Amino acid sequence: MPDRPLSGVRVLDLTNVLAGPYCSYQLMLLGADVVKVELPGHGDLARRLGPEPELNDAGIGASFLAQNAGKRSVELDLKDAAGRLRFEEMLRDADVLLENFRAGTLQRIGYGWDRLRELNPRLVYCAISGFGQSGPMSQAPAYDQVIQGLSGMMSITGTSDTAPLRVGFPVCDSVGGLVAALAITAALAGRARTGEGSHLDVSMLEASLSAMGWAVSNYLVSGVAPQPMGDQNATAAPSGTFDAADGPLNIAANKQEQFETLCQLVGRQDLLRDPRFAERDARKRHRSALNAELNTALRERPAAEWEALLSSAGVPAARILTVPEAVELDQLRHRGFFTELPFPDGSARRLRVSGNGVLVNGRPLRPTTPPPLLGQHNADLRHPATSGEAA
């Protein structure tokens, strides 16, 4: 796919598990040639993570398969003299170096920013860590759940009876990876103007707090601390999960005109004349009473019917799907969000992996090769690829 924005960019990826590999997966989808540098005989820990023990034992666990299609894998031991020499040769030709070790790890083995810049003044060096490369917490170990707890995210997830709860997927890892990918692409754009590389220090804690939006800003600006509200949206009412005849239904009538349309479509125009619900702040104060009235009306039809009726009238509404249901949505099929690839072990099994939700010139961004076996591209150390396409 020659028109991908990062075609011709080479990334050396020293990362493990999720935040870093998710970042480099985004860069690969955008066209970069991503070379995973893995410890000989061991590799990315994610190779052994997933629900199928057979895949984990083979070094191609589901967690690894999900984030590493389109990349190459080479084995290097950075504590070995020959491995360091090879690594430095690769660095001289690289555009980006990405790692997610504990803060200061590369510095301690002789590859701090000064040394990296000496080897390649144009290098964009991005370090992802739990708390950043400096500060009193910089040396503390961190996984996604630790960041969820420290950010305050868990304290507002669930209800007053169930909080604190972990968000049901590794959101802090994903947000950290996305922020790193954004920073790297910005640094590459800056380098095109100045000719100089840069050192990017990405903190998952800070990235997560930034992504929490009003939950943080309402406190910073107005001193109002967020509270766990379950499936309700604190910024508007009616906005949350409601009861259809056959199951739950999400409705977000956040604008006055959407609320008016909702009341008309459910046959409850009388709610518009009720002073408890007449305007936005009043509806938030009387949320429970309003929800009870709407639920009585919504239980008259199944969720799919309400979704079609409300959505066509401009009121955001949709069923709540399981993950198996969500991945089969016709919308995703239409957009080409998933790509089917061969399994890396050569078996007849097929692998389906996600895109990133971006179309470039009308075409989805897709990996072109399956995730690599450990060390599959060791020979490429002697003959590195010259294009941005994964070899």
Question: Which residues belong to the active site?
Answer: 173
Q: How open is the CA angle 109-113-119, to the nearest 5 degrees?
A: 90
DSSP state of 190: H
Tokens representing 18? 């999720």
> Cα(277)–Cα(263) distance, rounded to whole angstroms?
11
> Cα(373)–Cα(59) distance, rounded to whole angstroms?
7
Quick one: three-class SS letters along 277-323?
A: CCCHHHHHHCHHHHHHHHHHHHCCCCHHHHHHHHHHCCCCEEECCCH
How crowded is the C-beta side of 168, counted as CA atoms within 13 Å?
Answer: 3
How many other C-beta atoms are found inside a 10 Å radius of the C-beta of residue 390? Answer: 21
Q: List Cβ<8 Å contacts ≥24 apart for 57-60.
A: 58/345, 59/373, 59/374, 60/343, 60/344, 60/345, 60/371, 60/373
> Cα(34)–Cα(105) distance, rounded to whole angstroms?
21
